[in-house]
Structure 1
Amino acid sequence: MFNRRLYLVISGEACKGRDLVAVATAAIKGGVDVIQLREKQLDNPAFLASALRLKEALVPHGVPLVINDNLWVAQACGATGIHVGNSDIQPLAIRAKWPSCGILGYSIEYEKQLYTPEAAAADYLALSPVFATPTKTDTVTEWKLEGVRHIRSLTNKILVAIGAIHEGNAADVIKAGADCLAVVSAICAAPDPERAAAAIRLQIEKAL
């Protein structure tokens, strides 16, 4: 069961030159309770090295590690799970190749995806993006709050909202029906990641 509330999506690039593990550890202190490592620019050995280092830091905190779109790295590092999008390896294939996958997330970019076997196979669905963001340039749908409400009315699946989410809009996205907020820049690029995470977590808790 995916019962997390504040989801950090992290990469070396997003941390603006700061140590990825240091940023992740600070964010956990602020209230992040699941972390996804997204390294589109790294080859498999470098991605795996980063994943192993991050996982070692997360274990004492009981925070699960999810790998973005790389089944080999996810299995090789012993991650809890994997997150995939529309153009990645699909959830049904992951279930077949990795039966012990603990968390399987799937990005929904348009409404029809909600009714596919792939969506049914996922533990949570990510609405991507809720608000347009520079970190995602191939946007199909900008969901906005109305989109979150609409999809919430159509499914009982866990919904993770991602895309330009920060302290100022976090409560509204939760009230619209998201179960969990995924954050990149508002934490990774913040001067104080712990404080930034804590501020967003506070808004989540207030809105529940």
Structure 2
Amino acid sequence: MKSTIQNQLRLCLVTDPQLCAALGLVTTVRRAVAGGVTMVQLRDKTATTAQRIEMALALKQALAGSGVAIIINDDVMAAVAADVDGAHVGQGDVPPDQARSMLGAGKILGLSCETPQTVQAADPKVVDYLGLGPVFGTATKTDHARPIGFDGLARLVALSPLPTIAIGGLKPAHVQDVRASGADGIAVVSAICGHADPCAAARAFQQDKPEHPA
């Protein structure tokens, strides 16, 4: 399962309700997947569980047969009810043990880590991957911890017993630095959701020397 997770983490789109509003959630995600997104994390801090379930079901229908994993951020109940691929939790959310018990053994569980202590405390028998960051500060998550930069990212990756994904203000120009850190993938919010052409924006992350679309 580890190699499968590593492939799924290659380019993760984390949705933002405001940035996706112009095209709509489903259209934004569908176009981003066409550009190379390998995992979608549904994140909407203001939605209710019922609303997240509704959005997740719409995404499942839109991405059926694509092989792209759908996970829900911070709402394990919604992930279970919508029967998506898994959930992602932070340090202050449902404890990983409880989240795993709710999800079951066959689902993906990601955990956000910002310090060496939280990385080393992650249990590989419970969690499937770690989200590391923020690499840079970002307006899409105003309560984030102090940015760690690429040096900090590399230190956390080296400590991780699990596949890892980098997050926090990342753009196509940062892909080589993320790879050099040893992280398995990159999670993106505004660099795709906030773009008029999500397909082109996602494709820019696939280039060897990526250039952000105009």
TM-score, scaled to structure 1: 0.92
Aligned pair count reads 205
Give 1:90-105 correspondences, 5 Å limit. Answer: 90-105=95-110
Hey, what's the Cα distance between the residues in 2 that align with 1:52 and 1:91?
24
8 Å Cα contact 2:14/2:187 also seen in 1: yes
Deviation at 1:69, TM superposition (A): 0.8
SS in 2 for 1:178: coil
Secondary structure (helix, strand or coil) at the match of 2:144 reads coil
Tell me the percent identity: 37
Provide runs of 4+ in structure 1 moved above 6 Å. Answer: none
Which residue, out of 5, 19, 25, partners 1:20?
A: 25
**Secondary structure at 2:206 match in 1:** helix
Find the counterpart in structure 2 of residue 192 from structure 1.
197
Distance in structure 2 (CA, Å) of the matches to 1:41 and 1:17: 18
- For 2:139, the equivalent position in structure 1 comes to 134
Q: 1:71 to 1:99 in 2, by over 3 A?
A: same
Is the 1:91–1:119 Cα contact (8 Å) retained in structure 2? Answer: no
Aligned to 1:201: 206
Go from structure 1 to structure 2 and tell me whether the alpha carbon gap of 1:39 and 1:119 turns closer, same or farther (over 3 Å shift).
Answer: farther
* TM-score where L is the length of structure 2: 0.89
Aligned residue number for residue 68 of structure 1: 73
Please say which of residues 77-86 and 59-68 is displaced more in the overlay. Answer: 59-68
Q: Larger deviation: 111-120 or 101-110? A: 111-120
Q: Which deviations, in whole Å up to 9, do the C-alpha atoms of 1:119-156 show, x marking residues without a partner?
A: 76211110121111111222223121001111222234
1:177 Cα shift? Answer: 1.4
In the alignment, the residues of structure 1 paired with residue 72 and residue 196 of structure 2 have an alpha-carbon distance, to the nearest angstrom, of 25
Matching residue of 1:178: 183
State how far apart, in whole Å, the 2-side matches of 1:185 and 1:119 are. 30
Distance (Å, rounded) in 2 between the aligned partners of 1:204 and 1:114: 30
Task: In structure 2, give the amino acid aligned to 1:153.
Answer: A
Runs of 5+ unmatched residues, structure 1: none
* Unaligned stretches of 5+ residues in structure 2: none
Q: RMSD in angstroms over aligned alpha carbons?
A: 1.8
Q: Are the counterparts in 1 of residues 120 and 160 from structure 2 also a CA contact under 8 Å? A: no
- The aligned residue for residue 47 of structure 2 is 42
